[in-house]
Amino acid sequence: MWKIATAAALTAAMTASPAPAGAETGRWTAAWASAVQQPSPDVWYPTWAEKGFADQSVRQVVKVTAGGPTVRIRLSNAYGGTPLRLTGASVGRAGAGAAVRTGTLRPLMFARSASVAIPAGGQAASDPVRLAVKAGERLAVTLYFQGDTGPSTYHNLAQATSYRASGNHTGDTGAGAFAETNSSWFYLSGVDVQGGGAAVATFGDSITDGYAATQDADDRYPDALARRLGGRRPVLNLGIAGNRLLNDSACLGERGVARFRWDVLDQPHVKTVIVLEGINDILLGMREPTPCTTPAVKVGADDLIAGFRQLIRAAHARGVRIVGGTILPAELTGEAEGVRDTVNAWIRTGGEFDAVADFERAVADPAAPDRIRPAFDSGDHLHPNPAGYRAMADAVDLRTL
Kindly state the average pLDDT of the residues 199-207.
98
Q: How far apart (Å, rounded) are the C-alpha atoms in residues 367 and 28?
A: 47
Q: How confident is the model at residue 196 (pLDDT cuts 50, 70, 90)?
A: confident
Residue-wise pLDDT for 265-306, tens only, equals 999 999 999 999 999 999 999 899 998 999 999 999 999 999
**pLDDT given at position 27:** 85
What is the bridge-based pairing of β-strands 88-93 and 138-145?
A: antiparallel
Q: What are the φ and ψ backbone dihedral angles of 344, each rounded to 5 degrees?
A: -65, -40
Domain 7-19+195-400 CATH (choose: 3.60.21.10, 3.20.20.70, 3.30.2130.10, 3.40.50.1110):
3.40.50.1110
Using the Cα atoms of residue 21, residue 79, residue 73 and residue 193 in order, give the sign of their dihedral. negative
H-helix or E-strand spanning residue 321: strand 321-325
Whether 351 contacts 175, CB under 8 Å: no
Q: Over 108-160, what HEC string results?
A: CCECCECCEEECCCCEEECCCEEEEECCCCEEEEEEEECCCCCCCCEECCCCC
Alpha carbon distance 245, 251 (integer Å): 14
Spell out the residues 6+ positions from residue 368 whose beta carbon is closer than 8 angstroms to its own: none
pLDDT reading at 191 higher than 80: yes
How do residues 96-111 score in pLDDT, each as one tens digit?
999 999 999 999 999 9
Mean pLDDT within 332-355: 97
Arithmetic mean of pLDDT, 140-165: 98
d(CA 222, CA 202): 7
Q: Given this model, what pLDDT does residue 44 score?
A: 73
Cα atoms found within 13 Å of the Cα of residue 89, Cβ hemisphere only: 28
Over 90: is that where the pLDDT of 244 sits?
A: yes
pLDDT of residue 42: 62
Mean per-residue pLDDT of the chain: 93
Instruction: Report pLDDT for 380.
Output: 97
